[in-house]
C-alpha cells in the first residue's frame, strides 16, 4: 500500500494529473485527498489562527477545474474553507471582508 507521503510527493511533482490520480482507484482517491489535506494543513491552521476572533473554522475541501490559457488546458486546484461568522459585537452593522491567498507554482 502506498504511503500518503509518497502520494504527496507525486502530487507536487505532477499536479497536472491530479484529476487522473483521483480516478485510478478508490484507494488512490483516498490517498490523493489525504495528501492534499496534509499539504494544506499548515495554511488552514495559519488562517484559523489569524481569524479566530471572527470565524469558526468548520471544514475544508478541495475543488478542481480545467482552465484554458493561451490556447492550452491547465488545472486550477482550490482549497475551500467553510467557516461560520461568530457572534461578535464588532460585527454589528458592518461588512466583514476576509481573504487569504496562497499560490503554489512548480
Give residue 102's pLDDT band: very low, low, confident or very high (50, 70, 90): low
Give residue 58's pLDDT band: very low, low, confident or very high (50, 70, 90): very high
User: What are the pLDDT digits (tens) for 61-87?
Assistant: 988 888 888 888 888 888 888 998 888
Q: Find the helix packing angle between 26-50 and 4-13, rounded to 10°.
A: 80
pTM of the model: 0.70
User: Which residue from 28, 1, 74 is spatially nearest to 11, judged by alpha carbons?
Assistant: 28
60 HSE (CA, 13 A, CB side):
21
User: What are the pLDDT digits (tens) for 4-46?
Assistant: 788 788 887 887 788 888 888 898 888 888 888 888 888 889 8
The set of residues, in sequence order, having a beta carbon less than 8 Å from that of 38 and lying 6+ positions away, is 4, 5, 8
pLDDT for the residue numbered 34: 87
pLDDT for the residue numbered 103: 65
Amino acid at each position: 500500500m502506498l504511503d500518503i507521503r509518497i502520494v504527496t510527493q507525486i502530487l507536487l511533482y505532477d499536479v497536472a494529473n491530479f484529476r487522473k490520480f483521483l480516478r485510478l482507484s478508490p484507494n488512490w482517491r483516498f490517498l490523493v485527498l489525504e495528501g492534499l489535506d496534509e499539504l494544506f494543513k499548515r495554511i488552514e491552521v495559519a488562517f484559523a489562527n489569524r481569524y479566530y476572533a471572527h470565524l469558526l473554522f468548520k471544514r475544508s475541501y478541495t475543488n478542481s477545474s480545467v482552465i484554458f490559457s493561451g490556447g492550452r488546458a491547465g488545472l486550477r486546484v482550490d482549497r475551500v474553507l467553510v467557516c461560520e461568522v461568530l457572534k461578535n459585537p464588532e460585527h454589528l452593522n458592518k461588512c466583514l471582508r476576509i481573504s487569504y491567498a496562497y499560490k503554489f507554482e512548480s
